[in-house]
Copies of this chain bind each other. A is one copy, B any other.
Amino acid sequence: MNNKSTISELSRSLITIAWYFGPKGLDGQCCGDITMPEFIALDTILNIHNCSVHDIGIALGFTKSGATRIVNRLVSKGYVRKEASSEDGRVCCVAITKKGETIIKDADSRYREKFEQLISKMPPNQQGNVVTLLNSIAQALRK
């Protein structure tokens, strides 16, 4: 560490965490053959009833064409299917398939495993709060 650095430890920590658990993290093996945005899309589908393509775009901060494309990728991988909404003819509902549920369970356990490894490297007196705190950070971010 040299002191020419102009970045605060806080920013550096945030970036380290974001990078590690983010798209390029987990040795590129975060989620089997799905990318991180695809993972988030699947999560969105699980959490929104009759999730539309539009909803996915919002969750990811993508344009609507970007949303269309990510959904189409998930369809071609067999993780979701599209169905016309019965309530609104414009809307395309996206539903997860069995295969999609499997892959997401898989990704989840990989995340948890990586997290265990992380925890084990932290000072024992700090290990207790980590999960609670991460959850409450995430909750604050969603507000």
Contacts and interface: CB of A to CB of B under 8 A. Distances in A.
Interface stretch (A22-30, A72-80, A81-89): A22-30
Nearest to A62: B24
Nearest to A106: B6
A112 B10 contact: yes
Nearest to A11: B111
B115 A10 contact: yes
Interface in A85-143: 101, 104-105, 107-108, 111-112, 115, 118-119, 121-123, 126, 129-143
Interface of A: 1-2, 4-25, 27-28, 36-37, 39-40, 43, 46-47, 49, 60-61, 101, 104-105, 107-108, 111-112, 115, 118-119, 121-123, 126, 129-143
